[in-house]
Amino acid sequence: SIGHTLITLYKATDEEKYLEYAIQMADFLLNDAEKFADGVLQHTVNGVKNVFPEQAWVDTMFMAGYFLLRIGHILDRKDYIDFGLKQYHAHEQFLQDDLTNLYYHGWDNIAQDHMSGIFWARGNSWAAYTMARALELVKVQHPSFMIIEGSLRDQLSALVRLQDESGLWHTIVTDPESYLETSGSAGIAAALLTKGKLYNKYVQKSTDGILKQVKEDGSIMNVSAGTAVMDDAEGYKWVPYKRVQGWGQGLVLAFLSLLLKHHSGN
């Protein structure tokens, strides 16, 4: 995720040092990061070895997959682009449910299961938003375009049916007894907005719901704290949502800035 910031800083300032650090990160992912099953990035925690052995988490689609596509696009590096696309396709294979088209939070390749098997809102937003943005960087003629586009289309079709009347989504998107959560809702709304007019009515509902979560000082409320793949549904429901979180600020900024661009025609 820091790599995304470095790319944006480089594009804004033309200072090579930001790109140089981002390249180091991309090279680490390509050459040194923990992988399993033919090059799928393992979800890792800095400084702790193999705390999640052979686990794929949906977060990686944004944090690594989309990052690799962005830097590969800037540098015209086919190796970065191909490895980034591999993450999209592998995470779709392991995490997208064939029945609901929603994305599970995680996959355990050793146990060959989805652990608690939960459809987590922020996880679905990582997948949806990053696929929508990836399609802006992948040529229509590339075989990966139709794979990603199909996955996203089916996922969004499921998600719009689960939107609450408030315009938000529940932290477990299939469980109306779980609390409404802002960061996941903003990421899903940003994906819908990126895909265009087909989803306008859902985006409008989201806009109303998300704006109600913004305090006068800009703090975004009702954002769930850092969330591992919890043991069961109750674990997700007990994740606190009292405090301001960086990913809440970021995903709401992503949605609102995109909304402003659409309104201005840029």
Contact status, residue 86 vs residue 94, Cβ threshold 8 Å: no
pLDDT in tens, 201-214: 999 999 999 999 99
Residue with tokens 């998300």: 210
Q: Which of 69, 88, 107 is the last residue of a domain?
A: 88
Model pLDDT, residue 48: 67
Contact status, residue 57 vs residue 43, Cβ threshold 8 Å: yes
Domain count, the chain: 2
Write down the pTM of the prediction.
0.96
> CA dihedral in degrees (39, 44, 47, 48; nearest 10)?
-110
Residues for the chain: how many in total? 266
SS3 state of residue 180: strand
User: Which 8-state DSSP code applies to residue 238?
Assistant: T
State whether 171 and 213 are in the same domain. Answer: yes
Q: Which of 45, 63, 88 is the last residue of a domain?
A: 88
Give the max Cα distance, the chain. Answer: 49
Model pLDDT, residue 141: 96
pLDDT in tens, 23-35: 999 999 999 999 9
How are beta strands 55-57 and 106-108 bridged, if at all? antiparallel
Q: Say if residue 158's pLDDT is above 90.
A: yes
Which of 14, 32, 38, 59 is flagged as catalytic? 59
- Give the mean pLDDT of the chain: 96
Residue 162, domain CATH: 1.50.10.10
pLDDT in tens, 225-237: 999 999 999 999 9
Q: How many contiguous H segments (helices) and E segments (strands) does the chain have?
A: 11, 6
Tokens for 40? Answer: 């799928």
pLDDT in tens, 42-88: 998 766 667 899 999 999 999 999 999 999 999 999 999 999 999 99
Model pLDDT, residue 26: 98
State whether 124 and 196 are in the same domain. Answer: yes
Q: Specify whether the backbone of 178 is left (phi greater than 0), alpha (psi in -120 to 50) or beta.
A: beta
Model pLDDT, residue 218: 97
Q: Say if residue 129's pLDDT is above 70.
A: yes
Single-letter amino acid, residue 194: T
Model pLDDT, residue 44: 87
59 is a catalytic site residue: yes
State whether 264 and 138 are in the same domain. Answer: yes
What range does the domain containing 112 cover?
96-266
